[in-house]
Amino acid sequence: MKLKKVIITGACGQDGYYLSRLLARLDIEIIGIVKKLPLKPHKYFNKMIKCNLKEFGKFRDIVLSEKPDVIFNLGAPSSGQNMDQNSEEQFDVNLGFVFKILNFLDSENIKTHFIQASSSEVFALNNVSPQIETSNFRPKTIYGLTKATADFIIRYYREVKNLKVSSAILYNHESPIRREEFVTKKITSAAAEIYLGHRKNLKLGSIDVRRDWLHAIDVCEGLFKIAINRPNDYIISRGKTYSIKDVLFIAFNYLGLDYQEYVVIDKKFNHSPDIIERVGDNSKIKLDLKWKPSISFERMIIEMVRFDLRRLMTK
């Protein structure tokens, strides 16, 4: 399927940036939906429109006016460390918006392909590892709950109403432009600050926690492949876990430092442990769409450290 125009919600986020960069190279017109217009226009977007996703009427009018081939729904009010904050907004945006837009597409017989950015948080309390697309949803946060329920809505509208809708269940994905509320960015930024003498230590909870991490670039490649193929649900993951200790070793070692000399373990930063290792089985997207992650875990962490080092040195 040849894409001519797309809409991306959550356009100013990490995934919005990398997805728009990929699509711009393919000469696709990109409309970005943002809650607040940035001070500087993002160079990969043809147009950015201010629209809170709770203002469904406005978003509906945008879709009717722009007639996109695909809507990438990347907007979500909560992720990162505290996924129970802003619970009402999460229900309105993560769940209510998805239902409203699918109901609208169905009632108007619009053939736009709607792609939902879901999350591995839907499997947080699942007791089977690795997880596949049909594994039981067992979230432990409001964020995970809203994402899981939205995924059920996606399946209903595709299987019962024959809508062009897909869900991409995204596992942890990082990049140099990650916000510091995410542990990988917290580590790479702290490592650069310690190297430059700007701070003395880094406080963390358990460093034995393991996650299935991959680069946001690879995630966006997967989202694009989903967009140009038949609607379906896909897990986008590396298929292998690494520990926070691994992140620490790579980040500090790249700078010639021993993380053990600088990291302070503080139990107040601990989170409730997973019942079982959360790792995504990416066999389906590999087989169906010929996708696979291209950027190694080590390369990803080093790229983040180098970015933070340059950022701090040019302040």
pLDDT of residue 252: 98
What is the rounded average pLDDT of the residues 256-261?
Answer: 98
157-171 as b/e: b if 16+ CB within 10 A: bbeeeebbbbbbbbb
Nearest residue to 211 (alpha-carbon basis) of 243, 170, 179, 176: 243
Could you read off the pLDDT of 177-228 as tens digits, one per residue? 998 889 999 999 999 999 999 999 999 999 999 999 999 999 999 999 999 9
pLDDT of residue 275: 72
C-alpha to C-alpha distances, 49 to 8, 21, 37, 65, 213, nearest whole angstrom = 10, 18, 7, 12, 31
Could you read off the pLDDT of 219-257 as tens digits, one per residue? 999 999 999 999 999 999 999 999 999 999 999 999 999
How many Å apart are CA 9 and CA 20, to the nearest integer? 11
pLDDT of residue 21: 97
Domain boundaries, the chain: 5-173+215-236, 175-211+241-278+295-313
Q: What is the pLDDT confidence band of residue 81, given thresholds at 50, 70 and 90?
A: low
How many Å apart are CA 235 and CA 219, to the nearest integer? 10
Q: What is the pLDDT confidence band of residue 87, given thresholds at 50, 70 and 90?
A: confident
Q: Which residues contact 293 (CB under 8 A, 6 or more apart)?
A: 214, 215, 218, 238, 239, 282
pLDDT of residue 148: 98
How many residues are there in the chain?
315
How many Å apart are CA 127 and CA 136, to the nearest integer? 9
Could you read off the pLDDT of 18-69 as tens digits, one per residue? 999 999 999 999 999 999 888 777 889 999 999 999 999 999 999 999 999 9
pTM of the model: 0.95
pLDDT of residue 83: 66
CATH topology of domain 5-173+215-236: Rossmann fold (3.40.50)
Could you read off the pLDDT of 95-143 as tens digits, one per residue? 999 999 999 999 999 999 999 999 999 999 999 999 999 999 999 999 9
Token pair listed for 226: 């989903």
pLDDT of residue 78: 60
Q: What is the pLDDT confidence band of residue 272, given thresholds at 50, 70 and 90?
A: low
Beta bridge partners of residue 30, listed in sequence order: 6
Strands 242-243 and 210-211: antiparallel
Nearest residue to 304 (alpha-carbon basis) of 251, 246, 267: 251
CATH topology of domain 175-211+241-278+295-313: UDP-galactose 4-epimerase; domain 1 (3.90.25)
